[in-house]
Amino acid sequence: MTHRILIIEDEENIARVLQLELQFEGYEAAMAHTGAEGLLQYREQQWDLILLDIMLPEMSGIDVLKRIRATESQTPVIMLTAKSEVEDKVKGLDLGANDYVTKPFEIEELLARIRNALRFSQKVSPKQVALTFGHLSINEQTREVVYFDKEIQLTPREYDLLFYLLKHPKQVLTREQILEAVWGYDYYGDTNVVDVYIRYVRQKLEAANPTPLIQTVRGVGYVLKEHSYET
Ligand code: CA
C-alpha cells in the first residue's frame, strides 16, 4: 500500500525537494503552499500523514492543526518548525501534533520520523479508537456510528458534526464554535446550517432510540448530554 503524504509548506523550494524525496522513497506526495489550501486538500482527500509548516500565509500551521484535530485525531501530523518557534512547537504538540522536526533538517531524520509516525498509526487497532458517550459510540478508523447497538448511517458532514459533539461531551457549544470546527473558517453561510444538520443527526439517532442526546441550550447552542443527567 502506498502511503499518501500531504506537504503544507509555503517555501516552494523546500516543498518541492520534500515531494521529490518522498516520491523517491515510494510515497505519494502532494503539496499545498498556504494554510487554507492545505486545509482544503486535507478535507478533500484521504491522507496517511501531514507535514505541516508553522509559519504559513493566510492561516498558520497551528490553526490548520487545530481544525484537523477538531474532527479527528487519527492522521499523524509532523510539524516543520524553525529554531525560534519553541512556543509554537509546544503548542502544536499540545494540540495533538505527533512529532516535529526543526528546520534546517536532514532528510534522513525526517524520513525516520515519518516511518515511525506511520508505524504507530497503523498499530492502533479499531477497538482502541472508539469514542463513546452513553449509548453512542463512534469508531474513528471505520467511521462507524453505533447508537443503542444500532448502526447509524450518516453523511460525511453529519458524521463530522456528531464527532465534534462527541469529542466535547457535556460541554455547551455555540453555533459559531460548531460552524467553525465542522464547516471551517471558509464557510460564510449563517449559523442556521448548524440547526439544520443538528436536526438531521437527531432524526437519525432518534430513529434508533428516542432518548434525546443532543440537547438545545436556548439562545446559545447545543450540548451532548444524556437525558438522565437532567433531573
Ligand atoms: Ca513557512
What are the tens digits of pLDDT across the range 79-118?
A: 999 877 888 888 888 888 999 999 889 999 999 999 999 9
**Mean of the pLDDT values across residues 114-138?**
80
> What one-character DSSP code corresponds to residue 85?
-
- 164: CA distance to ligand 1 center in Å? 29
- pLDDT of residue 129 exceeding 80, the answer is no
- 127: CA distance to ligand 1 center in Å? 37
Cell numbers of 121, please? 498509526
> What one-character DSSP code corresponds to residue 228?
G
- 11: CA distance to ligand 1 center in Å? 6
- pLDDT of residue 126 exceeding 60, the answer is no
* pLDDT tens, residue by residue, 177-217: 998 888 876 666 778 899 999 999 999 999 999 988 999 99
CA gap 31, 6 in Å, rounded? 6
- 75: CA distance to ligand 1 center in Å? 21
Contact 36, 59 (CB under 8 A): yes
- 179: CA distance to ligand 1 center in Å? 28
Among 32-36, 54-58, 114-118, 127-131, the least confident range:
127-131
Kind and range of the H or E run holding 134? none
Kind and range of the H or E run holding 146? strand 144-147
Distances (CA, A) of 181 to 140, 146, 178, 200, 225: 17, 22, 5, 18, 19
> What confidence category does residue 168 fall into, taking pLDDT thresholds of 50, 70 and 90?
very high
The pLDDT value recorded for residue 201 is 97
CA gap 163, 160 in Å, rounded? 5
pTM score, two decimals? 0.62
- 181: CA distance to ligand 1 center in Å? 24
> What type of residue is 89?
K
- 189: CA distance to ligand 1 center in Å? 30
Contact 86, 59 (CB under 8 A): no
The pLDDT value recorded for residue 58 is 86
- 228: CA distance to ligand 1 center in Å? 49
- 163: CA distance to ligand 1 center in Å? 31
**Alpha helices for 72-135 (secondary structure H):** 86-94, 107-123
The pLDDT value recorded for residue 229 is 44
Phi and psi for 66 in degrees, rounded to 5? -55, -45
- 24: CA distance to ligand 1 center in Å? 23
